[in-house]
Amino acid sequence: MPTETVYGLAANALNPSSVAKIFEIKRRPSFDPLILHISKDYDLGQIVNSVPEAAEKIIQAFWPGAITIILPKCASVPDIATSGLPTVAVRCPAHPVAQELLTHCKFPLAAPSANPFGRISPTTAEAVEEELGDKIPAILDGGPCELGIESTIIDFAEGKPAILRPGAISAEDLEPYLGPIQQKGLGEHPEAPGMLKSHYAPRTPLYLAFEKLPQELPKENAYLFFDRQQNLPPISFTLSAKGDLREAAANLFQAMRELDQSDASQIYCEPIPDYSLGRAINDRLIKASSGAVALIDNDFIVAPAGR
Ligand code: TXA
Ligand code: MG
């Protein structure tokens, strides 16, 4: 199914054997819980126990939209969908095709991104076909995803709200409603397995440069630039020539996919400004990367682990 963030692999969330098929097709580990997608008219009370005031504010302000909230779940939600957790992730997507589908279904659709576990999330129907085409009965083509990066996940289940995954709605967008928000970063206990380090990975090793890359670059590699317009090496992708983070986020997964399909045996990536949507982009790049590099005397030197 299309959504405004990425394509999802959807099944009836309230039917355990349907949900099991998602895990099987994605080869997703059973400890990685799913997001339940609901229509605008769905009664949230059918799947969650309580909605704290702060969560209610976010729902009012951002749904339908690219924000997923974690709340205490009801018994109606099967354990397989939440990996046995007492909480459930819920999102009301804005994509009109997703809304129409959900309205017809009358039940929530569990939908992780429609890629095999650990691979690049698909942002077009063609990318879904490439990733999973031979394993699924149908693809609902809703065109390219407008936002192109997954939803932001906020945990409201215990105490103060915390961002578990930076995504299409930035912390800056949320702060007027919630005040300063905790961001649970990498290296801590991965409560959302989207927080696991290796994820979103192309098959070609991708390295993150510490600084902007020089104008002259060895031609045999692939390069991912933030805003470069000139001196583009033959295998390269510029995320946003005008330096717009929203446009960059929308292009990110398609860029990784295209560079991965080139003949280059390394992808080098320039740093992306680390604020607003740039944080979500950097989160995905770090998880996709095989390490950091520095360019010394025109040689890429992979930084030792722990940098
Ligand atoms: O934009 C999106 O969110 C897309 C589209 C299809 O809606 N979906 C998506 O799903 O990104 P997925 O499965 O790739 O990522 C869901 C993340 C996982 O990292 C999972 O661990 C986390 O949500 N999650 C789900 N339920 C959770 C829970 N109860 N507590 C903490 N994390 C949870
Ligand atoms: Mg995913």
pLDDT given for residue 200 in this prediction? 80
User: How sure is the predictor about 28, in pLDDT bands with cuts at 50, 70 and 90?
Assistant: very high
User: Measured from the CB, is residue 72 less than 6 Å from ligand 1?
Assistant: no
Distance 238 CA to ligand 1 centre (A): 28
User: Measured from the CB, is residue 111 less than 6 Å from ligand 1?
Assistant: yes
- Summarised one tens digit per residue, pLDDT across range 166-214 is 999 999 999 999 999 988 754 444 555 555 556 788 999 999 998 999 9
Q: Answer whether 152's CB lies under 8 Å from 9's CB.
A: no
Torsion from C-alpha of 202, 136, 6, 183, nearest 10 degrees: -70
Residue 51 has pLDDT above 90, yes or no: yes
The whole-model pTM stands at 0.92
Distance 152 CA to ligand 1 centre (A): 9
User: Measured from the CB, is residue 204 less than 6 Å from ligand 1?
Assistant: no
- Partnered with residue 222 across adjacent β-strands are 267
User: Quick one: which atom of ligand 1 is closest to the CA of 68?
Assistant: 3
Amino acid at 251: N
